[in-house]
Amino acid sequence: MDVRQHLRSALETALVDTALEVCPETISVERPANPEHGDWSTNIALATAKRAGRKPRELAEALAARLNAVLPTHVESVEVAGAGFINFCLSPSWLHETLRFVVAAGTQGFARSRIGAGRSVNIEYVSANPTGPLHAGHGRWAAYGDSLARLFEHCGYAVTREFYVNDRGKQTQLFGESLAARKAGEDPPEGGYLGEYISEWAEDMPADADPVEWGLQRAHQDQLEVLASMNARFDYWASEKGLVDSGAVEEILNTLDELGYVYILEGATWLRTTQFGDSQDRVLIKSDGQPTYFLPDIAYHHQKYSRGELLIDILGADHHGYVSRMSAALQMLGHPAGHYEALIGQHVTVLQDGRKARLAKRAGKMVQARELVELAGADVARLTFLLQSIDTTQTIDVDLVVAESNENPVYYVQYANARVHSLARRARQRQVALRPLQKVDLSLLTHQRELALLRVLSELPNTVERAMRARAPHQVTTWSRECAAALHGFWHDCPILRDDVDEQLCQARLWLSEATRIGLSVGLGLLGVSAPESM
RNA sequence: GCCCCCGUAGCUCAGUGGAUAGAGCGUCGGUUUCCUAAACCGUGCGUCGCAGGUUCGAUUCCUGCCGGGGGCGCCA
């Protein structure tokens, strides 16, 4: 049940009945911050008064009178307040109905949306160079990208998760040469990789191995392990080398040339990206005959459309300038502008020993994602990355995260989940059988804590859809924390299995706990964080 | 110089154009004969960076400025 929709249609009817000709496309119904303003509120009178040529307050009064004449289900009263707000006061029965709705949907169905049905999206994330381990910053994209994918899936989209492996080119060569040099007991070449891991890996490398081939495999394996430990999945690993070898890159160059977007200047081959809003044209093939990173990347993105109608790239802030040229190239190839979306995440600053740690692979020491996961745990690492918006730079003090991992919000949420499971176990131990929900009197749930918890649960479907639209998984984190807080409050103030609790009330509360289990399970699942049954 | 992100409580951060802007941490104090105290409750004098604008209404949208971060390569 969607109470918003319920109130919206009631308002629509009232608008028609008051013969108001101006009907807005969207009627905003929201939860007021102040409980004195009722359970739900709408600004419709304020929003449409001018166009309707009436005073807001007067219009609100007219609508309220209509609604009060025949009260919609669950609505106890409709009042006008302030400049022209219409406030709805609802009977707790709407929350009791929410509980039945949550239980009926279960962990598989609750808070799912159909808005993505029949649509597909391709999400490329992390895509770190296969020349070393993932650093802590990559962890942010792993957590974010995977959770975003889960959100899309929950909203009905067919999702493909991709990782683009840049397994050819100059960096790959330098990487191989650095490994070979360390193997021979020498220093890496000019511009090579200086990280400690190069020496460690070189030791493991067989003498007869091809340093590039072996190194790429080693790095890929290392990255795959860490990503798996963080619960970040991938459906498709795209190889740049494979793409080049297949001739797809040459083909795309010919296509762009035939379309008239390619020209040669000073020995280099250029693409007229300025025709599609880029600030300058870009080089496809350097004057030394080597393609830039850009050219195979165009071919790659073009191909990706066979694996999703909407392409989403998750990129770090340092790649911001890259977006307009890719967008331009894809439009040249006939892909509508809205079918390519680059989500730019701000950087992660890692503090270790109170100092900023280097994140560059080529420079010496760096904080690896692996370290973070091993020190803090996968759940802590993952939720830490999903605490805040990717529009903000995130500072992770490794020592603090590890030292205070017990105070990490993830435990607050997981503990709520553990309590719910603990309750079910105790109920079984005490031979308290859970009766079918149809036979339980939910109207006994009247305590403020019970109603608050139900209100939070009722918000999850809306939160999921909003978070998907905003590409903001952290909104699910915020919801999960609120849900846990509501559960802890309920737990503290509302005894369930105690001897002095009425048997009917006990049943109702057990079902509320069960609904909470479902909500937390969905929330944590979207975040890729485990939901332990005991702690 | 141009482009992107940020600026909200001591700190870290939420915040869908709405009414009295919220959490966590930290501070100080309280709660357990009872289902897990990894919990709960109380305790906050905030120029929502500054100045304009749009609006019935702006922390939210627009413009300019200030401050912090990132980008402006025939690197990836």
**pLDDT tens digit sequence for A32-44:** 988 889 999 999 9
Per-residue confidence (pLDDT) for residue A461, from 0 to 100: 96
A467 CA, B57 C1': separation in Å? 26
Share of chain A above pLDDT 70, in %: 97
**Residue A295, both tokens:** 């050219």
State how far the Cα of A518 lies from the Cα of A225, in Å rounded to an integer: 30
Tokens representing A432? 């308290």
Task: Say how far A472 CA is from B24 C1', in Å.
Answer: 20
H helix intervals, A184-234? 196-204, 211-229
| pLDDT greater at residue A351 or residue A510 | A510
CATH topology of domain A3-91: Gyrase A; domain 2 (3.30.1360)
Q: Which positions on chain B have an atom < 7 Å from some protein CB?
A: 2-7, 12-26, 34-41, 55-57, 68-76
**A57 close to A43: Cβ distance less than 8 angstroms:** no
What's the confidence (pLDDT) of residue A360? 55
pLDDT at residue A357, rounded to an integer: 73
Is any atom of strand B within 7 angstroms of residue A292's beta carbon? yes
Q: What's the whole-number average pLDDT of chain A? A: 93
pLDDT score, position A528: 98
**Element holding A515 (H helix, E strand):** helix A503-527
| Closest of A91, A100, A85, A112 to residue A30, by C-alpha | A85
- CATH number for the region A408-527 comes to 1.10.730.10
Instruction: Supply A233's token pair.
Output: 């999945």
Q: What's residue A532's pLDDT? A: 96
ipTM computed for the complex: 0.96
A268-271, strands of its sheet edge to edge = A262-265, A268-271, A282-285
Tens of pLDDT, residues A296-328: 999 999 999 999 999 999 999 999 999 999 999
| Nucleic strand B near CB of residue A502 (< 7 Å) | no
Every domain of chain A with CATH number 1.10.730.10 lies at 408-527
A46-64 average pLDDT score: 86
Segments of chain A assigned to CATH 3.40.50.620: 125-240+346-405
Task: Considering only residues 185-244 of chain A, list those whose CB is below 7 Å from strand B.
Answer: none
A171 touches strand B (CB under 7 A): yes
Sheet holding A75-81, edge to edge: A29-30, A40-42, A85-90, A75-81
Could you tell me the pLDDT band of residue A361, with boundaries at 50, 70 and 90? low
Return the half-sphere exposure (C-beta side, CA atoms, 13 A cut-off) of residue A320: 7
Q: Where in chain A is the domain with CATH 3.30.1360.70?
A: 3-91
Judge whether A453 and A381 are in contact, CB under 8 Å.
Answer: no
| 451-480 of chain A touching strand B, CB 7 A cut-off | 459, 462, 466, 472, 474-475, 478
Is domain A125-240+346-405 given the CATH code 3.40.50.720 in the classification? no
Residue in A507, A515, A510 with CA at minimum distance from that of residue A460: A515
Q: pLDDT-based confidence at A55, cuts 50/70/90?
A: confident
State the DSSP string of A303-345: HHGGG-SEEEEEEEGGGGGGHHHHHHHHHHTT--GGGEEEEEE
HSE-CB of A239 using CA atoms within 13 angstroms: 12
> What is the H or E stretch that residue A161 is in?
strand A158-165
pLDDT number for residue A1: 64
Proximity of residue A88 CB to strand B below 7 A: no
Quick one: which of A170, A243, A181, A189 has its CA closest to A211?
A: A181
